[in-house]
Amino acid sequence: MDTIRLTGDDWRLLRDVRLAALADAPYAYGSSLAVEEAFEEADWRRRLHGGALWTVVRRAGETVGLVGAYVPDDTPMLVAMWVRPAARGLGISDLLITDVLRWAGENRWSRVVLRVADGNDAARKLFLRHGFEPTGRREPLESDPGVSTELLSRAI
């Protein structure tokens, strides 16, 4: 398995895996398949620019995992985590989380946060196992405002 950080020229790879994630697990994300299917090349390239991280895991020529991280307000946020259903339970999410924490350390950030939707127990358990802690801060999930998300936080 290879863990690969994407650059601007990888925008098609990012698009394909991100759309697969949104189609597979719409309950997990603030965005939606309809919104991102309408994105153009420039939108995907913009995501890959600047201070953001996009990492994939590839296995036997197939992209089996995706994670992103960016800095919305002075603290990096892990986003868009997804493992292809056929590749779950193999620890691929461990590789993805580890790369986000490594990237945050390389950039001298002292903390990483993320949001997890209520009811997404597999993801919540995974993040707690990696040292993320509940903060009690809650916000609605933009794609389904009836669902609440909780901010989890981890020191580097």
Ligand X SMILES: CC(C)(COP(=O)(O)OP(=O)(O)OC[C@H]1O[C@@H](n2cnc3c(N)ncnc32)[C@H](O)[C@@H]1OP(=O)(O)O)[C@@H](O)C(=O)NCCC(=O)NCCS
Pick the closer one to ligand X by CB: 23 or 41. 23
Give the one residue of 93, 99, 113, 154 binding ligand X; rule: CB under 6 A.
93
Pick the closer one to ligand X by CB: 48 or 141. 141
Scored b (16 or more CB within 10 A) or e, 73-109 reads eeebbbbbbbbbeebeeeebbebbbebbbebbeeeeb
Residues with Cβ < 8 Å from 110, sequence gap 6 or more?
Answer: 155, 156
Token pair, residue 108, equals: 């001298």
Pick the closer one to ligand X by CB: 71 or 90. 90
Stretch that binds ligand X, among 47-55, 115-123, 130-138, 139-147 (CB under 6 A): 115-123
Q: Closest residue (Cβ) to ligand X? A: 89
Give the one residue of 5, 12, 88, 137 binding ligand X; rule: CB under 6 A.
88
- Shortest CA distance to 115 belongs to which of 46, 57, 69? 69
Question: Which residues lie near ligand X (CB under 6 A)?
Answer: 25, 28, 81-83, 88-94, 116, 120, 122-123, 125-126
